[in-house]
Amino acid sequence: MNFRNKDWRNSMRLSVDYNYMMKKFIGEDGFKDAELNEMKEMAADAFDYVAENRGKGMMGWTELPYNQKEIVEDIIATAKEVRRKFKYFVVLGIGGSALGPNAVFNALCHLHYNELAPSKRKGPKFYVEDNVDPERMAALLDVIEPEKTCFNVITKSGATSETMTQYLIINDILTKSLGDKASENIIATTDQVKGNLIKLAKQHGYKTFTIPDGVGGRFSELCPVGLLPAAVLGLDIKALLAGAAYMDGVCNKPSIAKNPALACAVLQYMAMKRGKNVGVMMPYADSLKLMSDWYCQLWAESLGKNVTLDKKPCNVGQTPVKSLGVTDQHSQVQLYTEGPFDKVVTFLSVKEYRKEVKIPHGCEDIPDVAFLGGHTMNELIAAENKATAYALAKAGRQNYTIWLPQVNEFTLGELMYLFELQTAYAGAMFNIDTYNQPGVEAGKQATYALLGKKGYEAKREELDSAPAAEEKYIV
């Protein structure tokens, strides 16, 4: 990948087309230029807040494109060894410790990667296990050989029940079959000091990568959380980071007209203020399908808050919805076009797909089918994307498009960094703590209590004394 060449980098620049957010194009529900202008000051304040705080507190993620030179070399060397030794690579993690690795895998590897012959894959078979559904764990064990598998246990806190459950199961299996050598099949990615995983890693001598201080789960894809799995897959992680750094550079101005992440944040903020409580993320590429999952966590967990930084009650946030073009044109778009005016649709559109598939001529006596012949699937998906954006606009529905020239490591790094910055700016506009997740912690604590973890007796009592379910409400 030619990311060291400036012209190439510029040819890969992402852009945001928000014409269909504007009154001029969609009518009543759109924004006027004057309304966007009124946002200038708030946008500049949000920009300044992020610029002043970058690298500090929980904003360590801003520096990841720049401060990992040695770690990247270690990751690349480790990944090479993993590819040499193992037939399977399994990520054990949840939330921010799983969604990024899975999104990058989906975006940059063959769409049927695991079914490819080993000679056609750059790395081992790859799985991301982010649930404690017993059927899923059993299914995984049906298709892998644990002794030939490298398990990457990822947890920032080192305390998440789901991930530690998976660890207990896998460690037990490995220890029974490999004895002391079990530790060679486990790589820990976790906090340097906090939590249980780091203690276990030290005790068993696991190869360990650190999730830096100041990098929370959902902002961790560009640290070893995402970089190791990507490198094991044979992906160019230096290009991924270079893409992120490039987007950082693109977004270095406090102006909506020049900074695409700031523009997205402002558009979404204004939309939310007008009651657009649903944000649909709709890539027109199967490769970007799981980017929506990653984005949904980032956007929902960061912005869904009930108190401002100065402790004033608020209930802010926007419900992100995953959608896929063109598939969901045949399932959800009816609602987006004619249902309530409560949504903003973000399209992720690709200028140049990595493959071209021609549609052969045929069925000449059936005009409704014959017109497709001679075109390509590329033309068809592009036309459907354009048509859907237009149809939404015509129905007065706000939508905008993030254009990716291609899907590759560099543009993916750009996209992820853009979304992270957009989220940081939006959080600053709402004056909330973008980086905490008390709502997630509450659920974690209730689970500890229900399963009898020491120290959670009071919580258990609270749960036990909650009103019992009434039969009359069960049908």
Residues in contact with ligand PA5 by CB under 6 A are 94-97, 155-157, 160, 163, 216-218, 301, 437, 440
Q: Min. distance of Cβ 165 from ligand PA5 in angstroms?
A: 11
Q: Which helix (H) or strand (E) holds 70?
A: helix 69-85
Q: Which CB sits closer to ligand PA5, 155 or 171?
A: 155
Q: Which CB sits closer to ligand PA5, 146 or 217?
A: 217
156 in catalytic set: no
Q: Min. distance of Cβ 7 from ligand PA5 in angstroms?
A: 37
The residue annotated as part of the active site, out of 6, 112, 311, 330, is 330
Look at residues 16, 435, 10, 439 and name the one whose alpha carbon lies nearest to residue 265. Answer: 16
Q: Could you give the CA distance from residue 252 to residue 241 in angstroms, rounded to a whole number?
A: 17
Q: Min. distance of Cβ 105 from ligand PA5 in angstroms?
A: 17
Q: Min. distance of Cβ 158 from ligand PA5 in angstroms?
A: 7
Phi, psi for 240 (deg, rounded to 5): -60, -45
Look at residues 405, 419, 417 and name the one whose alpha carbon lies nearest to residue 1. Answer: 405
The DSSP output letter for 278 is E
Residue 446 corresponds to which amino acid? A
Residue nearest to ligand PA5 (CB): 217
The DSSP output letter for 64 is T
Structure tokens at 145: 């050989």
Whether the bond into 326 is cis, omega within 30 of 0: yes
What count of other Cβ atoms lies within 10 Å of the Cβ of residue 436? 15
Radius of gyration of the chain (CA): 24
Residue 454 corresponds to which amino acid? K
Q: Min. distance of Cβ 24 from ligand PA5 in angstroms?
A: 38
Strand bridging mode 125-129 / 149-155 = unpaired
For residues 415 and 294, is the Cβ–Cβ distance under 8 A? no
Residue with tokens 């992720």: 348
301 in catalytic set: yes
Q: Could you give the CA distance from residue 243 to residue 249 in angstroms, rounded to a whole number?
A: 10
Q: Min. distance of Cβ 94 from ligand PA5 in angstroms?
A: 5
Q: Min. distance of Cβ 225 from ligand PA5 in angstroms?
A: 8
Q: Min. distance of Cβ 191 from ligand PA5 in angstroms?
A: 8
Partners of 31 in the β-ladder? 22
Q: Could you give the CA distance from residue 405 to residue 131 in angstroms, rounded to a whole number?
A: 34
CA dihedral 181, 184, 190, 194 (to 10 degrees): 30
Residue with tokens 């290009």: 239
330 in catalytic set: yes
Q: Min. distance of Cβ 236 from ligand PA5 in angstroms?
A: 25
The residue annotated as part of the active site, out of 162, 221, 301, 414, is 301
Look at residues 116, 84, 201 and name the one whose alpha carbon lies nearest to residue 154. Answer: 201
Q: At what angle do helices 161-178 and 438-450 cross, to 10 degrees?
A: 60
For residues 191 and 157, is the Cβ–Cβ distance under 8 A? yes
Sorted by sequence, the CB contacts under 8 Å of residue 111 that are 6+ apart come out as: 286, 287
Residue 256 corresponds to which amino acid? I
Q: Could you give the CA distance from residue 78 to residue 341 in angstroms, rounded to a whole number?
A: 50
Would you please indicate which residues are annotated as catalytic (active-site) residues? 301, 330, 444
